[in-house]
Amino acid sequence: MLSLAQAVRDKVFAALPADAELVVSCDPLNKAYLSGYVSIAHDLAPAYRSAVLATRGTAALVTSAADAAPAFEALGRAELIHRYGEFYFDREESTLDALTQPAPALFEVAFTAALATHKGQGRIGIDRSDDDLLWRLCTEIFGESRILDVTQQLQACRAVKLPGEVARLRQAAECVEAGFAKIMQTARAGMTELDLAAMIAESIVAGGGVPRFVSVTSGPRSALADAYPTGRTIAQEETIRIDAGCTHNGYWSDIGRTLVFGSPGQRQSDIYGALLRGLEAMLDQLKEGVVARDLFEIAVGTVRTNGIPSYRRQHCGHGIGLRSYDSPTVAAHDDTVLMAGMCLCLETPYYILGCDGMMVEETVMVTPDGFEPITTLSREFLSI
């Protein structure tokens, strides 16, 4: 992750004015992006505040005292960790004294101390995507003339993925796909939604991923969109809709497929066929320069003309990276012009309450003349 973070910083600073020499952010995702450290503390306490102070050559972190040791493991240099709050580690090596001494109680004090270690005279880029605490603190210390808003530049850099980021997206996808493979090999009618979900979760963890959502729904429950699996027993020929994702080194996967024990009936096949044609119509037109909203219109129009004239959607895809739903959105209101290196989840779900729901969701990377697949599962109605 450190080598990827260095490549990220090279990219970010190349997008900033030449006199920018420090970028600071409280956003957990931008912190991971610039430093390479993905913190479990943000899962345990969503309101937990930390910060990154990134130069072209390195990144320092302001963390809670509890988060300091994992952050040190990632960065390897105790002087890059600035702690606040109360937590206790003993230590055997004197080189770890910095992680065991008393820390200031407040984040603001620790952040100000971290800023004091920066001796440059250039401008300070502030990410304002979280809130304006860092903007206020940096203005008080450096004055308005030395600070600049880099929120949009960071967002633009994150939208187009580096090869190392795409590799992590592939790893996250492989974890979920291994779960689908296990289901295809071992699942049978009479199992429950929870049984199938356990296969996916187990495969994710075995592959080094962190399960984030595993929605396995069957029969009428498959029309509930994002719902947790239950102990419901799955019968032969019932629709099974699985939508699952994980993170691998901070990068997400999001894969949706429709399955059945046995063979799908004519109604199921007709509906799914329309949805698949909508997805494949997007893939046929996907390349650099296409506008996100145009892909949306292609998907909805294709599904409607292929058997579901009432088809409606709020979106037919989204960016993916350090978030499951990242920019852009494949929706009627999104005018984003797609660029090579953007990674998208394209999807055409359909839900009939009281009956069933189906979906197919594919992850791809935009290229100059098309796309490169990230998911590798068959897009067909999966028959077990």
Given a cut of 90, is residue 182 above it in pLDDT? yes
Q: Please give the share of the chain, as a percent, with pLDDT higher than 70.
A: 99
The answer on pLDDT for 68 being more than 70 is yes
202's enclosing H/E stretch is helix 193-206
pLDDT for 97: 78
Q: What is the spatial distance between Cα 105 and Cα 102, in angstroms, rounded to a whole number?
A: 9
Going 187 to 193 to 195 to 198, the CA torsion angle's sign is positive
Q: Given pLDDT bands bounded at 50, 70 and 90, which one contains residue 95?
A: low
Mean pLDDT across 192-203: 98
DSSP state of 160: B
Question: What b/e sequence results for 187-226 when a residue is b if at least 16 CB atoms lie within 10 Å of its CB, and e otherwise?
Answer: beeebbbbbbbbbbbebbeebebbbbebbbbbbbbbbeee
- In the chain, the domains with their CATH numbers are 2-158 (3.40.350.10), 163-383 (3.90.230.10)
Contact indicator for 299, 282 with CB cutoff of 8 Å: yes
6 burial via Cβ count (<10 Å: 0-12, 13-18, 19+): middle
For the purposes of burial, counting CB atoms within 10 Å of the CB of 368, is it exposed (0-12), middle (13-18) or buried (19 or more)?
Answer: exposed
- Over the range 250-278, which residues count as b (16 or more CB within 10 Å of their CB) and which as e? bbbbbbbbbbbbeebeeebeebbbbbbbb
Provide the pLDDT confidence category of residue 229 given band limits of 50, 70 and 90: very high
pLDDT of residue 295: 98
How confident is residue 33, by pLDDT bands cut at 50, 70 and 90?
very high
pLDDT at 98 over 90: no
- Which residues 6+ apart lie within 8 Å of 99 measured at CB? 68, 69, 72, 78, 81, 83, 89, 91
- Residue holding tokens 């497929």? 257
DSSP string spanning 97-146?
GGGTS---SSHHHHHHHHHHT----SEEEE--SS-SHHHHHHHHHH-GGG
pLDDT of residue 199: 98
Q: In this structure, how many other beta carbons lie within 10 angstroms of the beta carbon of residue 379?
A: 18
Q: Strands 147-149 and 239-248, how do they pair?
A: unpaired
Chain Cα centroid distance, residue 95: 35
CB-based contact 223:137 (threshold 8 Å): no
Whole-model pTM over 0.75: yes
SS3 content of the chain, % helix, strand, coil (to 5): 40, 25, 35
Closest by CA position to 248, among listed 325, 329, 318, 165: 165
Model confidence at 323: pLDDT above 70:
yes
pLDDT at 10 over 80: yes
Written as six digits, the tokens of 327 are: 């920019």
350: which strand partners? 358
* DSSP per position, 57-103: S-EEEEEETTTHHHHHHHH--GGGEEEES------SSGGGGGGTS--
Instruction: Compute the mean pLDDT over every residue in the chain, rounded to the nearest whole number.
Output: 96
**Whole-angstrom distance, CA of residue 253 vs CA of residue 209:** 10
